[in-house]
Structure 1
């Protein structure tokens, strides 16, 4: 497992909005400075719900990647790639489908929830039922240690862990596993004998400290290749080789970005501001926002907490501006358009660097194609190594 490797992605199903930026992409921009990040255009996933209108997928891929780049995602620091351009995702998904019980997929909470919410669509397909397994393949093919998710996605990560555990249990025992493990111990050098003694102390006496000490010896050894390291990790606990390591959920805070009507910002509610919305359109949308219904006339006092505009102030305004809004609204000292102007200014100010970064890619689409080609190649190189181990373990050849 690569403990500091992150895998995350988004479906290309239309323009990204400020909810995407505040809920996901800002976090990506921060993570790329401290982790090895793989950011995926999840076009296979888009097909699970948009198979009846694929035109939106093709239109959205480049625009979505430009939005990522405009937000500060750096292709020099992160691997940006298209899921369907790395065939190992589909191959591992198929391999895992051979051993994953159907009941595991049917019990994923979002399955029935999405069936109800999207009842206007025909989702009685394996693709829709199996998308959590495809998501598991996305993660496991890179042996990612961390996956940034909101709380609603935690069951998907738990399914990924269960699938990896089942796969390792079924296929992790090589025919000559013990012989290979003992040969690997010799590569540790002088600490090898201590490693074996600590393993015995753990397996025979349940000594948890011995287990930690043995793991530390493994971590410190410079002479082990990845295969031997994984082999000894399993041998230490009397397990097989860990072919597909279990990932961890990296919980992210829920987006606090409200929509123009006070609900969560969402395309399905028609209440969004896109990430690269023209300033005049931003102004028009915010000026048209509903306000506290008690303020029928300019002279009527209002209550900020009952107004959707106040929620935007909570995201964008500093303490002084919020105090000005509170005082002015409750005393009718300011009108609703006065209240909205600082929010308009703040949104336009936030978006200005995005327009500037996006310009070079909008004016030269070949740059996006080059970034994706390079990212696809980097991603496939990693995925190919994983599939070599998976194929060998399943008797399919290396």
Structure 2
């Protein structure tokens, strides 16, 4: 996540609730990508540091658990920069220019000069963020699928260019023996079923078999992945999309909640500010007077009721609004109460890190150490494949 400002309820419902669920199902790495913030905010970097710490506190407030997941800062793991540079050597310029969001962002952010090397190359940096940890799954919304596919293409090209390891087949066969007895036999059966008969389910079963094996080093595992699909070592893993279960959080004007629309409610915003924002929200323009009936479907407040209210409250709103039985301020109060109720445990979780910043620094330092150990192992293989591991 880019640290470009305080997080809001749209981030919580659209991303963080999903992350909280995933951390109990998979080993997760959550990274504050401060270098990505510089691709669009390179002229005003002064606030990035504060935004980084605010984002991390918001993650913890939202339920991200450092005992289950790894939280770290991109720039504290310099291997991100090294892998970005090396991947960029073989990434065609045309691939970057065709990224859907490249032209869209230039049009959307006309007030910024984005004709920079950093902005053009941000998909390579994004790919490095993923490939450095040999991530098998990337949780994204549908609009981010092209970025994951770009990452897959970059990994595929890298493996094609640099995966021709001398004596690869002999090393792969030796690695297969380390699976032991029945698993070795099963691996070869699945490989033959995939390569000779094209059985995609055999490939999936073989991948699962390798993932479960505890007796393999990272290098041997990557050799066996590569041997399954061809005759080269898969140095970088092609990640798959984990389509996130997200919900669209409406803003104060009925549009998607977004800082660019100025319609947000902060994750840790002051109670009185939240009350004021909701109470002054626009409503159905047909309700000029308290006695005028309205239509909830034309009212932004109804969109918040769909996100926060139970069926009984929603029925009360529908009936009361259409009959002018309730006023707009009455209608808004259950939304205010629900937001404040949702926010309360977040404020409590955040407070200890605000009171004692050293707790947050310790979590991040530990997360950066864990992330860097994985990154260093990947970079050893990358340097060796590219002939850069000089003795």
Settle same-fold status: TM greater than 0.5: yes
Alignment partner, residue 87 of structure 1? 78
Contact residue 18 and residue 245 of structure 2 kept, 8 A: no
Please give the residue correspondences for 1:276-295 in structure 2 after superposition, counting only pairs within 5 Å. Answer: 276-295=268-287
Distance 1:73 1:210 in 2: 36
**1:272 maps to 2:264:** yes
- Contact 2:13 2:247 (8 Å CA) reproduced: yes
Cα displacement (A) at 1:59? 1.7
For 2:202 and 2:55, locate their aligned partners in 1 and report how far apart those are by CA, in whole Å. 49
Per-residue deviation, 1:210: 6.5
Question: Any idea what SS the aligned residue of 1:36 has?
Answer: coil
Give aligned pairs, total.
Answer: 389
Q: Which residue of 161, 175, 186 maps to 1:170?
A: 161
SS of 2:291's partner is coil
Pairwise CA distance, 1:182? 2.7
1:358 paired to 2:350: yes
CA change 1:210–1:266 in 2 (3 A) is closer
Match of 2:126 in 1: 135
2:108 paired with 1:108: no
In 1: Cα distance, 2:253 partner to 2:209 partner: 57
Residue 267 of structure 1, CA deviation = 1.0
Residues 55-88 of structure 1: per-residue CA shift (max 9 Å, x gap): 1211211111111111111111110000000001
Task: Report how far residue 270 of structure 1 moved.
Answer: 1.1
Partner of 1:247: 239
TM-score with structure 2 length normalisation?
0.94
Give the distance between the partners of 2:50 and 2:213, measured in 1 at CA.
49
Q: Please give the secondary structure, in 2, of the residue aligned with 1:144.
A: coil
3-state SS of paired residue (1:98) = helix
Mark the CA change 1:381 to 1:352 in structure 2 (over 3 Å): closer, same or farther: same
**Partner SS state of residue 39, structure 1:** strand
Residues 1:315 and 2:307 aligned together = yes
| CA shift in 2, pair 1:212/1:310, >3 Å | closer
Cα distance between partner residues in 2 of 1:321 and 1:361: 36
Does the C-alpha gap of structure 1 residues 131 and 258 become closer, same or farther in structure 2, counting only changes over 3 Å? Answer: same
**CA-to-partner distance for each residue in 1:93-129, whole Å, 9 max, x for gaps?**
0010001001011111010111100111000011111
